[in-house]
Amino acid sequence: MTNSNPSPAPNLLPVSLSPDWQRAFIDWLTNLSSSRTRRSYLAAWRDFLTVQAAAPARISQSDILAYRVHLDTVPSPRTRQPYSANTINQRLCALSSFFKFAQARQLRSDNPCEGVHRKAVSPYGKATWLDGEAEQDVRLLRTVDTTTLQGKRDYALLLLFLTTAIRVEAAANLRVRSLRYQGQKVYLTYLNKGGEQVEKLLEPLTIAAMEDYLTARAGDIDHLPPDAPLFIPTDRGQQAIAHLPHTDTQARAGQKPLSSRAINKLVRKYCDRLFGPGHGITPHSLRHTAAMNAILEGASVTEVSQLLKHKSMGVTTVYLHATDKDGDKVSRRLGQRYAKRLQDDAE
């Protein structure tokens, strides 16, 4: 005989919830678009209820306003620095999102977050990028020693950032199967922010760099299992390619991928070498660089929006404060930018 009563939902919050509120909270978390959003929104709610210590059913707008004042005046216990405007807005967004869900479940008739103003921020107020007109991006690529396995990997990865504007999390999750060959064309398929599947046509210079790295890594790209990570750590990465034996140990599907943290360190290493410490350049800066260079190379705001896969074209227009040119074929133009300049080095 089966038990018709469902098991009680685990209480993830520092206050006691009724079964209906517990289930609503679990269902709300489950329906969020990504694990990263779930973690940050859960952390926001835990922090809020640690400060306010009230059940969600009894929370008023005054409680939300008091929490906003708390975030404005009390530094983060982790960083000991004031909370940024983005962090404050993200916390308020997490609260409002669940209250909207609770309204849909008819657990509340109102959303106490309505009318609580969020902090005004520029989407890219602290954004950094490489100066395309000064060819800082080209100089970055020139710092990579492509006679080693590690150098070939790093060159391919940097070029991928600069020509596709891929996010670092997506790059870390790429697999060999992410490359789809169709005649002379190669497409890169990956999951974008929010779980959206994206397919981008790679331009020839990036294809050549990727194939050069994968061939050096495995001897033959066909030897790499489809589920193998596209970018992996290199135990012997500083050795010259001619001295590297090709074995199947680096081609196995179980090989760990190069993590987002490792990619951040990789970008910082080359930028430290080029600019010295304190430059503030990250993989996301290379995404901004791709957008700025696309505009410099003649792309329209619509095309840059497609390159970045922005949901709103209004976000993309931020890049137009620096330049206002128009054009098309964004990724190909970015590839041609590097092909022309780097070819001069080889001659």
Closest by Cα among 187, 128, 134 to 341:
134
Residue 119 counted as domain residue: no
Q: Which CATH number goes with the domain that contains 335?
A: 1.10.443.10
Q: Quick one: which H or E segment has residue 235? A: none
Residue 13 counted as domain residue: no
The reply to whether 82 and 145 lie within a common domain is no
What 3-state DSSP class applies to 89? Answer: helix
The pTM of the full predicted model, rounded to 2 decimals, is 0.60
Say how far apart CA 59 and CA 54 lie, in whole Å.
6
The reply to whether 245 and 142 lie within a common domain is yes
pLDDT of residue 322: 44
Q: How many domains does one find in the chain? A: 2
Say how far apart CA 131 and CA 320 lie, in whole Å.
15
The reply to whether 208 and 306 lie within a common domain is yes
Residue 114 counted as domain residue: no
What 3-state DSSP class applies to 201? Answer: strand
Q: What backbone torsions phi and psi does residue 180 show, to the nearest 5 degrees?
A: -115, 120
CA 61 vs CA 93, 112, 114, 240: distances in Å? 14, 4, 8, 64
* Cβ neighbours of residue 195 closer than 8 Å, sequence gap 6 or more: 33, 34
The reply to whether 96 and 175 lie within a common domain is no
CB 331 within 8 A of CB 165: no
The reply to whether 212 and 148 lie within a common domain is yes
The reply to whether 181 and 299 lie within a common domain is yes
Residue 79 counted as domain residue: yes
- Percentage of the chain beyond pLDDT 70 is 81
The reply to whether 265 and 153 lie within a common domain is yes
CA 226 vs CA 44, 179, 230, 253: distances in Å? 38, 9, 9, 7
The reply to whether 166 and 225 lie within a common domain is yes
Domain end among 104, 120, 144: 104
CB 152 within 8 A of CB 241: yes
Q: Work out the average pLDDT over 18-45.
A: 89
In tens, the pLDDT along 219-276 reads 888 889 999 999 999 865 455 454 444 444 444 445 789 999 999 999 999 999 998 8
* Cβ neighbours of residue 147 closer than 8 Å, sequence gap 6 or more: 240, 241
The reply to whether 342 and 252 lie within a common domain is yes
Domain that holds residue 181: 136-346
Say how far apart CA 196 and CA 251 lie, in whole Å.
28
The reply to whether 307 and 158 lie within a common domain is yes
In tens, the pLDDT along 121-157 reads 555 556 688 887 788 999 999 999 999 999 999 999 9
Residue 126 counted as domain residue: no
The reply to whether 100 and 207 lie within a common domain is no
Q: Which two tokens stand for residue 229?
A: 């990570």
The reply to whether 39 and 143 lie within a common domain is no
